[in-house]
Structure 1
């Protein structure tokens, strides 16, 4: 009898959570999202349509606390379908937070919401598909990708991610803190253009003039701002810290945490020791094989280390980071342009030498 009662309570609570989810998605009373707003920007799909577009959920792209992400097609357009798990309370809360945020933000460096499913207990979100997966897959030395990212690729990805964060901090009123910036949450399309994803932990300031949000620390170890973990005061500089870790990963290709002889070493500690040697080629990912602008690389390392300052007040703002990364990219493009010019000059000189050394006398016929 007790087991039956317990099961009934669990089922009731799950249904209550799902009812709340539907209310928020459809904009019923108690939600800040209007139904008309949802209908004009995103389309509602039935569960049968979800089954059809995912070919009965046959290809999994990823899993998380919220549930599972599947590959699908809407006509000939590839999409990613995130379905909410029946049992995950954490996933439910993150799912709702993501819905709320994606209804109000639109930027080329943030993943786009295409539609949603809201049918009984089948609740899901449909996003644009990012063909090149996440950044972590490209930086990990265990990945099976044939070609590693070159220096220009890395700078462009860093700049894209920085511009997405800068929009959340300065383009949204009131500002939004992502709260879980990491390489697995930076997705890449077929042209390696980067977009921030997974807004389940994001927090919005109560008012435009606010400087922080008081909340229990959440995020990913290694990327998490130490000042935030001790004070529980979340600011935009917490995202800056996490981005600094991402930038070091982009530069070095190394893991965030390495354990040696029972001691854990953070990537910033390892980079600090390498910087002290004064040789930038030992800092930058060896897979690039030295093919990068030295000044650009030093500048990128300086940006990353400044972002990781222990005190948040000493960290730059995302708008400043965007400016500096544009300078880094410009320096690398200039180097490549000059290299091409030199190659062209060498080709012209070689062609001239060949003309002079060639016997120009007509051959006998």
Structure 2
């Protein structure tokens, strides 16, 4: 397994536990740290970082809990030892409550660790809501680790993180982490663009003596990797670097800087796009780490493919400035940081982040808008929530996960939606109710009849036969206005059949079976 990835998520300890807990209490507000595949009620706090992890059982009810094999566990912290695999179903989704309109760093981690004993890595797709986030692929079984990271502003008070089986092995996931960011961080030309992390480099340190840090060293729990280059050397200071409060790049990153080994040379790097015509954002973080004398100056400018794109500037002493560069990437692009003609000192770069813009064009299913009948919207929302609650109550494993209509290929079984260009999809009929209830016979259901069924006011057929349901037969069944078939046979109900049901059976408006 890659040493970089091991360091990235290794158990780090440089603070006393009391300080960790204090930082945790002050700065961890809004963090969501999910250990996928952990056993139910196994909430825990990592002692070195103070990060609180919770099991994923309240976010999903499909999949299987697994552990990576012991020989692969060296160097990994607890959240990466367990995982959840999904041998059944095409799409399996986590539903995670968030604060709409808040910018989040969303991270999904995958560590194979030969958990299935097959020594064969899968390929599968990762979705955020109805949109493809990325494909999850591994070079080989021994290096089967990867992290996917987005910066995203949810428009609703929840997100769906979905794994899709592409017939190339069983999907799995190790951890999901959400970290709120300042809304001014990682600004883009279009408001609320979604950004996918390409690289995040601490450019100053040498890889040999570098320890990869996360929270609490970085208040936003970002992972910083060293970017050692043979043609670069390092400058450093032991002083604290004041942050740019939009991005809060930690001082331990900013107090080192890369500079060319040879005088009069530039700092050079190139960017190879994954997709043709993709849009990219570069966030270059600068801080002067040397106290310059009166006769010294450090003036720099930045070029792309030999053309100036950022005019001459000077980094501030012990204070972070971030320069954002937006660029379209149709082919490999070369970036250089030059010393200006009047500069005495060589250019520097403290840290670099590169993101690609994700074209999340598929809208989520429309549940209400100004042009949509408000009564029908409320009815629609009530029915979708009822189906979801029935599924959770009876632990029904059907394809009722993620967005109901989108993407179309993964829409809920039995649901009909309309799809029109430039409009969000809409539910137009509720056969899903008939599909759901028809299939609830002989389903191993226990407990009482779910109250959520009372919200399915368009329901025509309800078949709960051949289960182990108990308790009284509820009166609300007689109040469902369109119900004309009700089969409650072969259960263990107590008490009498409600008079309203008996009357409907007698007058022929309801076919009733309850023996």
Q: TM-score w.r.t. structure 2 length?
A: 0.21
Over alpha carbons, which structure has the higher Rg? 2
Q: TM-score w.r.t. structure 1 length?
A: 0.26
Q: Which has the higher contact order (CA 8 A, sep 6+)?
A: 1
Q: Which has the higher strand share?
A: 2
Q: Which has the higher helix share?
A: 1
